[in-house]
Structure 1
Amino acid sequence: MSEPVSGSGDGADRAVGNGPVERLSGDRPTVVPGRLAEAPFALAGQAPWAVSDPYAAALRAGRGPLFLRRTDGWLLPLEVERWCAGADTVDLEVLDRCEGAVLDVGCGPGRLVAELAARGRTVLGIDVSEAAVAHTVRSGGQSLRRSVFEPLPGEGRWDTVLLMDGNVGIGGDPRALLDRVAALLAPGGLLIAETARVDVDERAHVQLVDVTDGHASGSPFPWARIGTRALLDRAAAGGWRTVAQWTSGERPFVALRSDRSASSSAEPPNSTAVISSQRAR
C-alpha cells in the first residue's frame, strides 16, 4: 500500500493509499473520486470509534444513545441523530463561510462533506472510524480513514479546515491541534471551530459508552472540552487572528485565520506525525 503524499503542486496525479487521488493543480488540492483508503499507520490511540461496534451500530441506526464517559463517571452525550441527518440551518451558515478547498477533520457520517460536495466544492473528510468514512461516501462525499495527526493530502494548501461537533477536543491538547491545523492550511487559511457551550477548559480521559447496556468500548483516550474564551486565548498565543465569533442555535463558533508564512506551513508530512497525547496508554 502506497504512502499518502502531499505534493508541491506539479500538476501530477498522486495516489493516496487506495483512496481518492489528489490532483495537484496549482496551489489547491483537488479530490478525485476513488476507492476508500485504509490508513497505512496504526490509528492514533485507537480511538474507540475506530474499532467499536456501538459507534458503528449507532451510525447504521442513525441514533444513539451514546456518550463519552470520564473516569469520574460524568457523561457527555453524543448527538448521533443530528450528525446522521442532513446539514441543518446552523451547519449551512457555517458552510457559507468556508473558503476554497475544505478539509473536515473528524467528519463523522459526513453531512457537511456531502453538502459541500453537492455545491460543487472541493472537500475531503477525514475520520478514524471506518463506519463513518463509509457513511460519508454513501452520502456522496469523499473521505479518508485517517487521524489528523497522520500525513494527509494537500498539507499546507487547504483554504479552510473545519473542527465541528466538539472535534476541537481531538487528542486532548487544543494547542497541539491548532498547530497541526495551521500546518494543513495554506498561508492565511481559515479555521472554523465549534466550541463548548459553556465556559470550560478541561482535559480528560474518556471512553465511548452505550448506556443501554452500560458497555464501555475501548481503552480510555484523551479528549478536551474548551469554550470560546479559552480557545481564543490559546489561538492568540499560537499566532492565530480572530476573524469572527458567533452563536447560532445555541452552538458557539469561532473563525480564526492562520498567520503562518508559506515556508512554515508547507513542510512535508511526517509519517510518524502522531502526538504523544494520542498514543495508546
Structure 2
Amino acid sequence: MKFKMKGLFCVILSSLAFSGCVYDSKLQRPVISERETEIPLLFNQAQTQAVFVTYDGIHLKSYGNDLSRAKTEYIPASTFKMLNALIGLQNAKATNTEVFHWNGEKRAFSAWEKDMTLAEAMQASAVPVYQELARRIGLELMREEVKRVGFGNAEIGQQVDNFWLVGPLKISPEQEVKFAYQLAMKQLPFDRNVQQQVKDMLYIERRGDSKLYAKSGWGMDVEPQVGWYTGWVEQPNGKVTAFALNMKMQAGDDPAERKQLTLSILDKLGLFFYLR
C-alpha cells in the first residue's frame, strides 16, 4: 500500500505538471527538475509504457510514465549476456580472443552469420554465440553461478540455452541497474580482470571525456514484449552512474529506439550531453 500511495502521488503530480514523476528511494520523496519533467513525454511520444532507473551507488531514481515497472520483474533478454560472459570467462569456458565459428546455417539476422568473438557477439547481440557459451557452462554450473551472484529471481529452469529469453529468469529494472553499477565498479564476485574484459565488450561511445557502456535487450518471445537498454556512464573524474531503460515493445518497433531514448534521457539528466 505504501508503494501504491507513492505511485498515486506521482500520478497526481504528473497531471499538474503535464508530465511524469521521478522517485528518489534514498530521499523517500518525489523530486522533479524542469528537464526531468520532459522524460515521460518522450515515452508518451514513443507510444510506450516505460521507466528509466538510475543508480550512482547512493541514489536510486526512477523516471517515466509507468514507474511501477521499476520494481516489476521481466525476462532480461540479451542483457543477460553480461552475466553469461562473466560466468564463461571466469570458469574458462571461453576466452575473450576465441572465435566462435558460424556453421553456415541461416540465422535470425544476417549480421549474426559470421565468425565472432564474444566481444563482437556482444556488440551484435548475437544470440547463437551466447547460447553456445551457455551450453559449455552447463546447467548445474550456470544455476550455481546465477544464484551466487543473486541475479534477479535466480531461476533458470531446466534448459540452459534459453532461460533468459523465455524465462523463468526474471529481473527488475532496480535490480538490473544495481548489477550494472557493480560491474562498472568491478564489485561483482568475479576476478577483476574478467570484469574488465566484459566491461570492454560493452563500450559504446564517448562524448568529450565521458564514456557510455551499454547492452540492449528485446524479449520477443514473451507477451507483452519487453525492451531493455542497460549500462552506465563514466565521467572523467571516475564517477559512475548506471541506468536501466525498461519499456513495453511490440513487433515492428524500431530496434534503435531504445538507444535513442536512452541518449535523450541521459542528456536531459546532464549525464551524457549531446555535442552541440
Q: Same fold (TM over 0.5)?
A: no
- More helix by percentage: 2
**Largest Rg, 1 or 2:** 2
- TM-score interval (norm. to shorter): under 0.3
With structure 2 as the length reference, what TM-score do the two structures score?
A: 0.26
- More strand by percentage: 1
